[in-house]
Amino acid sequence: MPQDTDNLFNSRNIKPTAMRELVLRVLTDSNTAISLSDLELKFHKADKVTLYRTLRTFEENKLIHGIDDGTGAVKYALCTESCQCNPQDLHVHFHCTKCQNTYCLNDIPVPSLTLPVQFTPESINMVVKGICANCR
């Protein structure tokens, strides 16, 4: 396995296993977010529970983040190296209504919000929907 993926596991205190390495390779090679169903199609013989647990481990250790793009299935994408999934790390996502792919727009931060004093945000999700550059 390439050194950079070893570093990704080490930097997030994740013990590498064969399945984790395979899933990380798929996430690394993808330029769009991937759902559990997408992973199941890539790993026909893999147990769905193992894939789910792999994603949960990655998410809990801030290697990936989940995206609710409104399609009914959470999609997952790699976090940037310095990401801790704190509000200042959040970015906009783009969901293409034609090809159904969801992209991380890492260079576009989620706008800051001023909420009433009694309100405490726990998460923010911003998804822009439209036609992506590949479908245009």
Give the separation between CA 95 and CA 59, rounded to whole angstroms: 20
Assess contact for 96 and 62: CB atoms under 8 A.
Answer: no
Residue 93's DSSP bridge partners are: 104, 127
- pTM of the entire predicted model: 0.83
3-class state of residue 44 by DSSP: coil
Domains of the chain: 3-130 (1.10.10.10)
Q: What is the pLDDT along the chain (136 residues), one digit of tens a residue?
A: 344 667 788 888 899 999 999 999 999 999 999 999 999 999 988 889 999 999 999 999 989 999 999 999 999 999 877 776 766 668 899 999 999 999 999 899 888 889 999 998 877 889 999 999 999 9
